[in-house]
Structures are given as structure tokens and as C-alpha cells.
Amino acid sequence: MWQENTDPFGTAFTVSVDYKTTTTGISAYDRATTIKALVDPEAKPEDFFKPGHCFPLVAKDGGVLERNGHTEASVTLARLAGEAEVAYICEILKEDGHMARRPELEEIAKEYDLPYFTISELQEYCRSFASSRSEFVNLPTDYGDFEIKDYGNGNLVIKKGEIAKNETVMLRIHSKCLTGDVFGSKRCDCGHQLHQAMRRIEEKGSGLILYLNQEGRGIGLTNKLRAYALQDQGHDTYDANLLLGFAPDERKYDVAAKMIKDLGIKQVQLLTNNPDKIKQLEEAGVEITDRLPLEMAATAEDRRYLETKRDRFKHMLVSL
């Protein structure tokens, strides 16, 4: 398998498989057998031939609020139905072999009396559902008094003061880092950045932190710990992700852009050193009036990590 996913849509393909009792694996019957085996919680890796004819995909934890994809849409539907978070998806083809698009799919839905909706409609439902079940509540902290609100799928909004809709808002978009934010890990600067952002927003008197459920630069806690093991063997954080089959940075900020829009914010001063974050947000229509650096003094434990962020991720770190 290729170490870095270059699929233009960021689809998280894994190793293709066939179940061990199938013949060629290509028939509809064989594929159905493989799919049933894939969803069996008792199935083991050795139960499958590799490569095969079924392509397992990995959905983002945040579902359609994190990634605008069919993978996430199918898993979000399963989650909303209260079922196991697994689904089977396939493309529908026209008679000429080309993929059916929205007009053709609408006709098929009418002909066979099938429910039909778009991913954007599912996203709107999830956002309204998340907003309806949570309001801002008080959050007194060591850095000042804030308010916090659940946005759904593990994403949070932390607010200081009243945010006027015509105001340029100081904003920190912070991806979850359990080890740094909670346990004070010295392997990274994540916890320090979060706390410094809270201090600066407190000093200004108003601002926002969007806390995104993107642990381990989007690869999740378990894989982050696996990456740590590779780093302990001498690999840097960039290469460790590649060796695990991920992109160096799997994070997406479209959910943050949607949160900003939902909050009625027009312009932001962004607390960041990350050029990719700026690029993604601007492409999503967020107007960034200023970039506010958020640098910490390097320590013996995190210096190599920070140098990798500067040299390989091109983070704008000037104090190293």
C-alpha cells in the first residue's frame, strides 16, 4: 500500500479484502459474504485474503461535521439510527457506465420510492440537532471566566465575553490533544498553546476557542500512541504518520469554518502558526484579518518536535 494517501477527495482507503470462504471474491454473493464478515466483531485479520474486492474505508470521528464525504454520511446515519457505526456504500451507474449524478439519482429515487437527501442536508440536521441540545454554560478556569457549549461529535465552543456579529473576533482553533491538554505531556506544545490562547483571550476581554475532535493531527489517540512508539525509535512526527499509512497531517478545518458561520462571525484574528490552517479556512470562506503568532519557548523534550513543525510542516516559528 502507498504510505501517503494522494486521493483527491481524501478518502481513507485501507487494504482491500475478500473473506476466506469466497471463491474469486468478485461476485455479488462473494462480496456480500465479505461485507457480512467485515462487520462481525469476532472477525480477525487472518479471516480475510488480501488484496481482495471489497475496500474498507475509515470515517472521521466527527462524521459529516468533520468531513463532507459519503463515508462519513453513511456512518453518521448508522449513528443516528442507534446502530453499530458501520455501513456499506456503493456507487450507482447509468446505463452507459458513467456514475449517476444528482439528476439521475433523483429520478431513481422517485421510480423506486426511495428516501433521498443530500450530504449538506444531513450536515444541517446534525448541526441543528447539536445546537438544540446544548447551550452555553459557565466555565470558570485558572485563566478567567469563560462559557462552553457542545457543538456535537466531540467539538466544543469556548467563549469569552459577548461576541458582536460585526466584530473582528480573536480566535483559536485547537485540535484535541489528550496527552498535552490534560496530562501536560512535554512531547508537544499543544497544552501550552491552549492555555496561552486562553490567557490572551482573557486579556482582550472577548474571543473564541473552537476545540476540535481531531486527536493526534486527525489520526486518533490509539494511532498517536503508535506514532509515539515510532518516534521513540528515532522517527520524527512527520515520518511516523507516514509509516502508519497516514498523511503527515490528517486534520480538516471545514467543520471549524461551519462553526464560525453558525456563530455569525464575519472576521477573525487567528491565533496560529500553521499555514495549512490559514489556507483551509480562507478556502472555506473565512476572512482572516490578522495572524497572531502563538509560540512557546522550546524545551529539551519538545525541541525536536518544534523543529519538525517548522522545517517539515512549515509552521511559522521564528523563536527556535
70 assigned binding-site residue: no
54 assigned binding-site residue: no
Of the candidates 31, 67, 127, 251, the residue annotated as catalytic is 251
111 assigned binding-site residue: no
Point out the domain boundary residue: 73, 94, 125.
125
Q: Does any domain span residue 13?
A: no
- Min mean pLDDT across 74-83, 172-181, 184-193, 205-214 is at 74-83
Q: Do 190 and 272 belong together in one domain? A: yes
Query: Can you give the pLDDT at residue 132?
Result: 54
Nearest C-alpha neighbor of 158 from the set 170, 175, 146, 174: 146
Q: Do 117 and 146 belong together in one domain? A: no
Nearest C-alpha neighbor of 210 from the set 163, 275, 249: 163
**Does the annotation count 133 as an active-site position?**
no
Predicted confidence band of residue 133 (pLDDT cuts 50, 70, 90) = low
90 assigned binding-site residue: no
Query: Can you give the pLDDT at residue 124?
Result: 83
21 assigned binding-site residue: no
Query: Can you give the pLDDT at residue 123?
Result: 87
Q: Does any domain span residue 318?
A: no
Of the candidates 18, 61, 181, 249, the residue annotated as catalytic is 249
Rg of the chain's alpha carbons, rounded to an integer? 22
Residue 294 has pLDDT above 70, yes or no: yes
Tell me the mean pLDDT in the region 210-230: 94
Q: Do 149 and 274 belong together in one domain? A: yes
76 assigned binding-site residue: no
Query: Can you give the pLDDT at residue 164?
Result: 81
Predicted confidence band of residue 111 (pLDDT cuts 50, 70, 90) = very high
Point out the domain boundary residue: 67, 96, 125.
125
Residue 47 has pLDDT above 90, yes or no: yes
Residue 5 has pLDDT above 80, yes or no: no
55 three-state secondary structure:
coil
Instruction: Determine the Cα–Cα distance for residues 193 and 176; give it in Å rounded to an integer.
Output: 12
Residue 319 has pLDDT above 90, yes or no: no
Predicted confidence band of residue 214 (pLDDT cuts 50, 70, 90) = very high
**Does the annotation count 40 as an active-site position?**
no
pLDDT digits (tens, 9 = 90+) for 171-189: 999 999 999 999 999 999 9
Enclosing domain of residue 287: 135-214+251-311
Point out the domain boundary residue: 83, 103, 125.
125
Instruction: Determine the Cα–Cα distance for residues 163 and 184; give it in Å rounded to an integer.
Output: 30
What is the pTM (predicted TM-score) of this model? 0.68
Tell me the mean pLDDT in the region 30-47: 93
Grid cell in block for residue 251? 486534520
141 assigned binding-site residue: no
CB 288 within 8 A of CB 281: yes
Query: Can you give the pLDDT at residue 130?
Result: 61
Q: Do 191 and 255 belong together in one domain? A: yes
Grid cell in block for residue 287? 476572512
CB 111 within 8 A of CB 53: no
Q: Could you give the number of structural domains in the chain? A: 2
Grid cell in block for residue 195? 492555555
- What ranges in the chain are assigned the alpha helix state H? 28-38, 70-80, 102-111, 119-132, 190-204, 215-218, 221-232, 237-243, 254-262, 275-283, 303-311
- The proportion of the chain whose per-residue pLDDT surpasses 70, expressed as a percent, equals 95
264 three-state secondary structure:
coil
Tell me the mean pLDDT in the region 289-297: 94
Q: Does any domain span residue 152?
A: yes
Beta strand pairing status for 168-175 and 267-271?
parallel
Predicted confidence band of residue 34 (pLDDT cuts 50, 70, 90) = very high
Query: Can you give the pLDDT at residue 131?
Result: 58
